[in-house]
Structure 1
Amino acid sequence: MYTLSYRYKKYACLLFLLGAAIAGYAQQPASFIHISDELVNNEVTSIIQDKKGFIWFGTRGGLHRFDGYEMKLLKNDFSKSNNLLSQSVEVLQNGKKNIVWIGTKSGGLSSYDLTTGRITNFVNTSVGNTGFNADYILSLLDTESEKLLLGTWKGFQYLDKSTGKFKILNSTWKTFDIQTDGTNGYWLATNSGLRHLNSQLINDQVYDFGIQGINVSSIVTDKENNCLWLGTWDRGLIKFNAVTKEFKFFRHQANNDRSISSNNTYRLHLDSKGTLWIGTWGGGLNRFDRSTESAEKMDLSIPGVFTTDNQIILTIQEDPSGLLWVGTDGAGVFKMDLNPKKFFNIGYKANVFGGTTHILSVYVDPFNKLWLSTKGGGIQYSADWKIFSKLKITAADDLNTPNIPYESRSFLQQEENLWIATNKGLIRIKNNKTITGQYELFIPDPMDSNSISGRKINAIAKDSSGRIWIGTQENGLSFISGFDKRNKPLFKNYLPSYGVKGALQNERVSCMLVDSKKRLWVGTYKGLHLYNPVSDNFRFYVQTDEPGRSISNNTILCLAE
């Protein structure tokens, strides 16, 4: 018997929930991540996704790398040589050549090599205009050239990546955002308006929109509408046409719930669907419709928690899968799915399943045929997902239990054969794009030691070697070891031997999983089993009193990775 580490406990699930999503945007985010989910700090200042797919969260307590399951923390630790100089991360930038650039609030600039894991720090050592002179980094942009542009609390400068040397271009612009202009120049959001730099990094244009000393905090390029959207401090949202120089302000209106919720439009993001997201400082998250020029405030409430920390939005980032990540100033990270989920019903009104709408299992084969097992309606299939045919079972195969219809909870296609695990035996059908042939039924035969161990089958799976495994309700586990001259499958059976090390410990196999490491896991009503193909036996995991090292229940109903 073995205990199970935390990493593998998430494979064993005791309840399967099927949820429905509503088409369009949900008013609440899909989920949120905060300190109780291993986030070191709830002030999330910057979010990016690197070239390998990892999500990075910059926080006031360190830098997190999230793989979808677990958090890895990088923070200031003087006991380590490979170390960030400050744990207060302000901005992240996906750089060239597998580099993540890290701008901090009090420790200057660092870089992280995704290939080697090496951290390189650039320290404030200059009092003049010849070197790096800032601890507080506000914005970063890695250009196509060897220049890394930096907006800092002490102005605007760049790092020549080829030489490792810095050059200060201005010591007064607090530069909150840097974006390309689509050619060879750059737009800068500064504490003295919107500035444009040409390809030589010379400031050739300044726009204050009629407000001296306007703080521009964020820039979004809108190619569809040929304009820039600008976030500001206390001046609302600005739509600016850089060609005609025309601009328009959008401000909060107390009696208009379709206006923006705050004039502190701190962070902007234009998503892949064309929606402009406005992260405000004090007014939460707004969704802005560019066609109607109207806003809607999003609900970022956390069930059972009252907080105003979700009203300050520090960063907004969309990943390639269509998830919108929103970092806040104390409420952690919120995640929203931008892809609307649409469901359509098959067969309920038309009653195409023979008088039942109780669906036990669903399977789409490699040829896009839809297979269903129903309660009372047998096993059915459809090539067009509209007209269904019922798998016809002969009277001889129904002789002993004619009043109990065939039901299945597991299907498996292997080459041109579809295997169906049923409550009355294992079915094999020749199945390809054009043909769904006659079935064959395989059941236990007391006179044949190579027959399947049990008739009622709960699960079927194929391991990395191509073996087909069959888990039964009352007779343990089997796999197909080969075929005879008539192409009839030969089975090797594993019957339970209670208390015997390496043996199956329960006759009732409920589910199976072949994980990403090509290992076969077997769930039973008395614990979890891991098959060892070298020794041809099982490692056994059960619930124990050891906290954090045990599965929570011995009844395993489903497995997932």
Structure 2
Amino acid sequence: MAAAVPVEDRLDPDYRNTLRHYGDEQGLPQASVNAMLQTRDGFLWLGTFGGLVRFDGREFRLYGADAHDPGASGDDGPPSNRVLALHEDAYGRLWIGTQDAGIGLLERGRFRQLPVCGERCQVNALYPDGDGAVWALSTQGVFRIDTATLQARVQVDAYNAFDWAAPMGEGVLYAGGRDGLWRLTATDSVRVPLPDGRAVVRRMASAPDLLWLLLSDRALYRFRPSTGAWTLIRRDLPLETQLVPSNDGRVHVSDEASGLRLLAADGREVPVQGAESLHARVLHLDDAGNTWIGTTGQGLWRMRSARVAMLHAPGLGGRAPGRVVEDDGRGGLWMGFGCAGLWHRRADGGTRRLAVEAVLDDACISSLFRDPATDALWIGTSNAGLGRVRDGRLERVWHWPGEAMLGIWRSRGGDWWAATLRDVYRLQVDEDGTVRDARPVAAFSGMSIVRMVDARAGGVWFVGDRGAFRLVGDAVVERWTAEQGVPAFARALHEDDDGLWIGTYGGGLVHVRDGKVQRYTTADGLFDDTVSCILPDPDGRLWLAGNRGLSVLLSRPIGAAGPRLTTIGTADGLDPVEFNGGTVSACRTDANGRHLFAMIRGFALVEPSRFEPAARRPPTPYVDRVTLSGRALDPFDLPEIGVDAANLEIVVGVIGLADPGRTRVRYRVGEGADWVEAGPGRSLLLPDVPWGELRFEAQARYLDGDWSAPVTLRFQRPVPWYRRDWIWLAASLAGLLCLLWATRERRADEGDYAAVVARARARLGDGRTAE
């Protein structure tokens, strides 16, 4: 017996912002992003020096001045590849400010160029003025363009004077550049004197009643328009410093050395966790909770607040895998990290390591079980040793030589069980915790059991490599194996009023109710065919862990459309995503209702309250491409389909910035027809196009949500005259009349043989009729 060695440290849940990078490998044409905008239909648009880019969360679509989009007709690119500014007007049109070709306009899939500044100027900014017009800051001055007529009026006639603009509400726009600072409205333009004799504005951004300016000597000032007060905030900012406004009204500051920081109203700079190395140029918050960061030379980044915290063993660099976890009964945790021993984290975060290897000859922990009756912690090791921590002291209580991966557990009825890779043992344990005997269970000889669960009908469920078995006494009274339709390699089990739920390795999720077996796999909409852990929460949801991450089964019973799931992955803070589920104690719900999952590096800590069923809107389906007989059609202006048409192909895309990899699409052809789930290609091919009107509809949803409103296409293929029913009816009627006439003639001549012969001779012209 030996005392545990206390090594005090801290282990706090790490809720970090998660970032994902998009660069040329993902389809971004250029590493610098100059402008960014999310339009009302949900697309994220990017302005780069390599062209205009549309992003749906999954695919980048490039529109260049010399590009030809296969789904468009007419002008299919902006007037220049060098895009500096973007704006969407009230008509849903996208305005595109360029470096060398003025302003382009995208409307219903077609591009055109506006006749502003000779179609050759540089347009640095585009902003609405609140009265149905757009401000355009260009090298030829400031223009105010009426969105109804697209007529432009010069507001300030000054060459190369303004590089930056900042809206201030109520139709007020501040413009800054080489000509200083100006206040613009629809009726007048007023110069605003800069402080301390300065003359040039190098950067500018606005927040409510605040204007932030970086002036010519790299000094940062704050200007309050309501009072006219100027405040010097900081001098000697780096030359490349950017002031970065976002669409939520906040302003950030960015440079190459310190990355992205939030600029507080008092001038304090607060680092943005996770973005300390990003030199941002533009920033946008989308309607799905993502922050998109466009950088100078570093591509595009998506940042999201983590909903999952990771726990890593102190001093191990975050590399040690999580193996086993148990509640300590006082708001803390016992955790086994790889073969690094046993760790105890108190409720206050204080953490110490127990040197179990000194007593158990093994630092690889394979199971943990806290006995609520005695508050003792039982420990199983990879060399099949059994230890116990009681009153702060660690002792060895049993060992199975030649065995491995010991799992220890106590049933609700008080029976103690131990499982190794090839046997299960019933332990005889005295009241003082002394182990007197370990008797093998013959029914499980040669089996590898990874889970033991109290059965509602009595006895214990044993789950392992041959299925799930319910043991009462020494007899198996119920089994669910391959013979009953359950994949043999079972890893998890949960039983409630809804029946039995069995998780398998590679075989999906199995539901057993009233003797009937229903299996769900990825083909049915399950997120992962490996389910190595099942944990319930108070709302009746089931939390599933597997090789691809975590998922939550939101509703039961599962309907014909398949499981309704919330999925949890890297974007939620789960890094890495693979669950390490090969031990008896790989997942647990602690006394505070939090779920703990052993991952291939560390543990994931999940608070179910952070994953309340979201009211987010469904993803938006759109028609990406339409082709007929190999020829592209404009989905905004579909022509009539000709007589010889064939091979109609419709490709559907999905705008899903919230969860692009976890969307589903279905379609139907014909009003009232059954819906059909689309495959990964999300396309429909009709070799034979029906005659008349053809109605195509497509819907999209996230795995945890409802179907969206449909996107609809209507095709017209007029029926040719020779295929119309009345033509065939008329032809049939004419044929019938001819037949009736011929029959009538024949019947009129029946019985007058001589007359018939006479007419026949007359037709033959043989002269016999003259006799």
Q: TM-score, normalised by structure 1?
A: 0.57
Alignment of 1:497-536 (within 5 A): none
Shift of 1:241: 1.7
Q: Distance in 1 between matches of 2:201 and 2:520?
A: 74
Aligned to 1:163, what secondary structure does the other structure show? coil
Give yes or no for contact 1:157–1:168 (8 Å, CA) kept in 2: yes
Q: Does 1:157 align with 2:124?
A: no
Amino acid corresponding to residue 248 of structure 1 in structure 2: T
| Distance change (3 Å), C-alpha of 1:196 and 1:472 | closer
Q: Hey, what does 1:325 align to over in structure 2? A: 292
Q: Does 1:267 align with 2:247?
A: no
| Distance change (3 Å), C-alpha of 1:472 and 1:350 | closer
Q: Hey, what does 2:55 align to over in structure 1? A: 66
Alignment of 1:55-94 (within 5 A): 55-77=44-66, 81-94=75-88
Q: Does 1:244 align with 2:227?
A: yes
Q: Hey, what does 2:328 align to over in structure 1? A: 350
Q: Distance in 1 between matches of 2:140 and 2:462?
A: 69
Q: Does 1:214 align with 2:200?
A: yes
| Distance change (3 Å), C-alpha of 1:37 and 1:512 | closer
Q: Hey, what does 1:44 align to over in structure 2? A: 33
Aligned equivalent of 2:22, options 25, 28, 33? 33
Shift of 1:139: 0.2
Amino acid corresponding to residue 90 of structure 2 in structure 1: K
Shift of 1:247: 0.6
| Distance change (3 Å), C-alpha of 1:508 and 1:214 | closer
| Distance change (3 Å), C-alpha of 1:427 and 1:169 | farther
Compare the two structures and name the one with the higher helix fraction: 2
Q: Hey, what does 2:214 align to over in structure 1? A: 231
Give yes or no for contact 1:234–1:263 (8 Å, CA) kept in 2: no
Amino acid corresponding to residue 193 of structure 1 in structure 2: G
Q: Hey, what does 1:365 align to over in structure 2? A: none
Shift of 1:472: 4.3
Give yes or no for contact 1:179–1:188 (8 Å, CA) kept in 2: yes
Deviation track 1:400-459 (CA, whole Å, cap 9, x = no partner) reads 94559975599xxxxxxxxx994385699xxxxxxxxxxx9962379xx6x343554247
Q: Hey, what does 1:15 align to over in structure 2? A: none
| Distance change (3 Å), C-alpha of 1:34 and 1:215 | same
Shift of 1:88: 1.0
Q: Hey, what does 2:182 align to over in structure 1? A: 195
Q: Distance in 2 between matches of 1:445 and 1:288?
A: 57
Shift of 1:41: 0.9
Give yes or no for contact 2:81–2:98 (8 Å, CA) kept in 1: yes
Aligned to 1:41, what secondary structure does the other structure show? coil
Shift of 1:84: 1.5
Give yes or no for contact 2:45–2:53 (8 Å, CA) kept in 1: yes
Shift of 1:67: 3.1
Aligned to 2:78, what secondary structure does the other structure show? coil
Shift of 1:317: 3.1
Shift of 1:491: 5.6
| Distance change (3 Å), C-alpha of 1:170 and 1:354 | closer
Aligned to 1:357, what secondary structure does the other structure show? strand
Give yes or no for contact 2:35–2:85 (8 Å, CA) kept in 1: yes
Q: Distance in 2 between matches of 1:184 and 1:348?
A: 60
Q: Distance in 2 between matches of 1:96 and 1:136?
A: 24
Q: Distance in 1 between matches of 2:173 and 2:516?
A: 68
How many percent of aligned residue pairs carry the same amino acid? 16
Q: Hey, what does 1:392 align to over in structure 2? A: 412
Give yes or no for contact 1:110–1:120 (8 Å, CA) kept in 2: yes
Q: Does 1:184 align with 2:184?
A: no
Amino acid corresponding to residue 238 of structure 1 in structure 2: Y
Shift of 1:393: 7.3
Q: Distance in 2 between matches of 1:62 and 1:493?
A: 45
Q: Does 1:135 align with 2:121?
A: yes
Q: Hey, what does 1:371 align to over in structure 2? A: none
Aligned equivalent of 1:96, options 72, 76, 90? 90
Amino acid corresponding to residue 329 of structure 1 in structure 2: T
Give yes or no for contact 2:285–2:291 (8 Å, CA) kept in 1: yes
Aligned to 2:227, what secondary structure does the other structure show? coil
Deviation track 1:41-62 (CA, whole Å, cap 9, x = no partner) reads 1122112233344332211001
Deviation track 1:116-144 (CA, whole Å, cap 9, x = no partner) reads 4x1332244666xxxxx553110011343
Q: TM-score, normalised by structure 2?
A: 0.43
Q: Does 1:279 align with 2:254?
A: yes
Q: CA RMSD in A?
A: 5.5
Q: Hey, what does 2:724 align to over in structure 1? A: none
Matched residue count: 410
| Distance change (3 Å), C-alpha of 1:119 and 1:215 | farther
Q: Hey, what does 1:120 align to over in structure 2? A: 111
Amino acid corresponding to residue 110 of structure 2 in structure 1: I
Q: Distance in 2 between matches of 1:402 and 1:23?
A: 41
| Distance change (3 Å), C-alpha of 1:443 and 1:164 | same
| Distance change (3 Å), C-alpha of 1:252 and 1:23 | farther
In structure 1, runs of 5+ residues without a counterpart are 1-19, 128-132, 254-260, 303-309, 361-373, 382-388, 411-419, 429-439, 495-506, 521-533, 540-559
Alignment of 1:415-494 (within 5 A): 422-423=463-464, 443-444=479-480, 451-454=484-487, 456-458=489-491, 472=504, 487-490=514-517
Q: Does 1:293 align with 2:267?
A: yes
Shift of 1:65: 2.3
Give yes or no for contact 2:327–2:334 (8 Å, CA) kept in 1: no
Shift of 1:295: 4.2
Q: Distance in 2 between matches of 1:354 and 1:342?
A: 15
Q: Does 1:147 align with 2:143?
A: no
Amino acid corresponding to residue 47 of structure 1 in structure 2: M
In structure 2, runs of 5+ residues without a counterpart are 1-11, 70-74, 313-323, 339-364, 373-408, 427-443, 454-460, 471-475, 522-528, 533-545, 553-559, 564-673, 680-702, 705-771
Deviation track 1:519-543 (CA, whole Å, cap 9, x = no partner) reads 89xxxxxxxxxxxxx9xxxx9xxxx
Aligned to 1:325, what secondary structure does the other structure show? strand
Give yes or no for contact 2:38–2:44 (8 Å, CA) kept in 1: yes
Q: Distance in 1 between matches of 2:234 and 2:299?
A: 27
Amino acid corresponding to residue 45 of structure 1 in structure 2: N
Q: Distance in 2 between matches of 1:238 and 1:269?
A: 15
Q: Distance in 2 between matches of 1:50 and 1:380?
A: 57
Shift of 1:72: 1.9
Amino acid corresponding to residue 245 of structure 2 in structure 1: H
Shift of 1:330: 2.5
Q: Hey, what does 1:432 align to over in structure 2? A: none
Aligned to 2:25, what secondary structure does the other structure show? helix
Give yes or no for contact 1:277–1:285 (8 Å, CA) kept in 2: no
| Distance change (3 Å), C-alpha of 1:137 and 1:473 | closer
Deviation track 1:2-43 (CA, whole Å, cap 9, x = no partner) reads xxxxxxxxxxxxxxxxxx974578xxx834333233221112
Amino acid corresponding to residue 61 of structure 2 in structure 1: K
Q: Distance in 2 between matches of 1:175 and 1:421?
A: 74
Give yes or no for contact 2:162–2:178 (8 Å, CA) kept in 1: yes
Give yes or no for contact 2:244–2:281 (8 Å, CA) kept in 1: no
Q: Distance in 2 between matches of 1:285 and 1:276?
A: 14
Shift of 1:166: 1.6
Shift of 1:151: 0.8
